[in-house]
Structure 1
Amino acid sequence: MDKSRRKELIEAYRNRRPEMGVIALRCRETGDSFLGASRDVPADFNSARAKLELGGHPNRQLSALWERYGEDGFDFVVLETLECEDPDKDYGPDLEALRELCLAADPRAQKIWR
């Protein structure tokens, strides 16, 4: 790959606007929801799915439900989105506040991690 193309790709990555928001993994059978604040929705869904498939997810309740019902027993949902206007800004506090609102709205929901 030539240097100008590499530089162009690096710049495009730095300026990308990731999809951010509150994600949920919902068990269809029990109605339990596990919510997370995500700075990169596709990456976090991928990460959660991989950890669950390999049996290494830190949320034991979610892992037990996954083991019982499998991937087909879950819905992967984006509950709320947050627009990324500045790629250098830390959206963590905004995402946490948005997740807390979603947790308050659903009595069967809990945090997926931390």
Structure 2
Amino acid sequence: MKNSSRQELKEAAKNHKTTMGVLSVKNTINGQRYIEGSLNLESLVNRIKFLLNSRQFTQQQLQNDWIQYGEQAFTFETLQVIPIQENRFTNYRQEVAKAEKAAIAQYNAPQELYND
């Protein structure tokens, strides 16, 4: 690998900002959703897809629907993005947890959610 391209990759990795927020995995067949918050939404999508494809996801009903309907029956969408604030004392874990709880509370009927 050339030093210049290696430097460019290092610089790109250093400058890459993660996106914090709340993610929804929606079953387009029955309308049910799985909602989860994360400090890194990109890695959350990758983790959920990996676990579902390897049949290791902990929410069994979602896992069963993934097996039955396939990946094409599900959409991944960002419900809320938590902006980075100037205040360095902001507890982003708390902010993500509050946003996740608020997103889950928007659904009245428990049958709309995979979340327990």
| TM value normalised by structure 1 | 0.80
Q: Which runs of 4+ in 1 moved over 3 A?
A: 85-90
- Decide which moves more: 82-91 or 47-56: 82-91
Matched, 1:44 2:44: yes
1:32 aligns with 32
State how many pairs are aligned: 109
The runs of 5 or more residues in structure 2 that have no matched partner are none
Match of 1:111 among 106, 110, 115: 115
Q: Give per-residue Cα distances to partners, 1:37-63, cap 9 Å, x unaligned.
A: 111111110110011001011111110
1:9 aligns with 10
Residue pair 1:23, 1:79 contacting (<8 A) in 2 also:
yes
One-letter amino acid of the structure 1 residue matched with residue 94 of structure 2: P
Offset of residue 84 of structure 1: 2.1
Q: Relative to structure 1, is the Cα distance of residues 26 and 18 closer, same or farther in structure 2, using a 3 angstrom cutoff?
A: same
Q: Give per-residue Cα distances to partners, 1:1-32, cap 9 Å, x unaligned.
A: 59xx49x938x53x643111100100011111
Q: CA RMSD in A?
A: 2.8
1:93 aligns with 94
| TM value normalised by structure 2 | 0.78
Residue pair 2:21, 2:37 contacting (<8 A) in 1 also:
yes
One-letter amino acid of the structure 2 residue matched with residue 40 of structure 1: N
Residue pair 1:22, 1:80 contacting (<8 A) in 2 also:
yes
One-letter amino acid of the structure 2 residue matched with residue 53 of structure 1: N
Identity of matched residues, %: 19
Whole-Å Cα distance in 1 between the matches of residues 44 and 89 of structure 2? 19
